[in-house]
Amino acid sequence: MPWVFALDRIHYALNLPIHLRDMVALEELHPTIHNEFIAGRYVGQKTNNAFSSIALDQMPPTKDALFQHTLRAAYQAGHVWGQALITCLDLPEPSQWGWMKKETSWAPLWTTMPPISKGLKDLVTCQCKKMCKPPCKCYMADVKCSTLCFCQGNCFRK
């Protein structure tokens, strides 16, 4: 890992090699935590929330999202701050470092995976007691209630 200098101080990026090393070693050093995080249980258990009460678009980040975030952080610390004292920066293409082009600017590429809500509509649950109508999550997602719903799938739609 090269030294990163920012504004004539190395302290801004001093901990970057440690964080990257820890993220790489997480799977080896703490396999239980790593497996729980990948399975989607870690955040729910640590915050005492059941995942049945978490909206699909609020699920914890994936390994791919962490990878994209790491790319953006490395780009900022290693390339942008690393050349802070240089007049003409020689920066690599941001699209290779967790960014995507949006019209005339760059925006973070949060993940390369499809949203879970589009791929797993079967996991939508609601809290309706008798009748499903807006703002019922199942009704809005155009799926039938299941046994995971509060109504146990024994409701009718308006």
For 30-86, how does the pLDDT look when each residue is reduced to its tens digit (9 = 90+)?
Answer: 777 767 666 655 444 444 444 445 555 566 677 888 889 899 999 998 888 888 888
pLDDT at 37: 61
Q: Is 81 in contact with 6 (CB distance < 8 Å)?
A: yes
Q: What are phi and psi of 156, to 5 degrees?
A: -125, 155
Q: Is 34 in contact with 61 (CB distance < 8 Å)?
A: no
pLDDT at 140: 77
Over the chain, what is the mean pLDDT?
A: 71
pTM over 0.85? The answer is no
Percentage of the chain surpassing pLDDT 70? Answer: 59
